[in-house]
Amino acid sequence: MPKVTAQGKTFDCESGANLRQVLLRNGIDLYNGQANLINCRGIGSCGTCAVMVTGEVSEPNWRDRTRRSLPPHSATKNLRLSCQTKVLGDVQVTKFDGFWGQGDTAVWGSEG
């Protein structure tokens, strides 16, 4: 079983599990500010669940690539939409500041 490490917590999930669902189910504060209320609920259109992921995950799909190519995101940043990412092996997750998680300062990482 893959291990997911985020916000100082480590937990197991099934291989192929949706990263957004795994994070939320384990009490991780995935959204910044009002994005907690105003988000697309996992369909890949808003971009507020963007995180940096280190480890084995699925390749970005067209929704992930398309949304991250539009402002305020940048296709050159090493982010993924957690709602469009499948966990395939052990991963470490970092969330950045900004409404969409597009900032330069980490809000939390694998250490907390």
**pLDDT tens, position by position, 54-108:** 999 999 999 999 999 999 998 889 999 999 999 999 999 999 999 999 999 999 9
Whole-model pTM: value is: 0.95
pLDDT for residue 46? 95
- Amino acid identity of residue 17, one-letter, is A
What mean pLDDT do residues 18-30 have? 97
Name, in order, each residue with C-beta under 8 angstroms of 66's C-beta and a sequence gap of 6 or more: none
Which one, of 51, 100, 92, lies nearest residue 71 by Cα? 100
Residue 34 above 80 pLDDT? Answer: yes
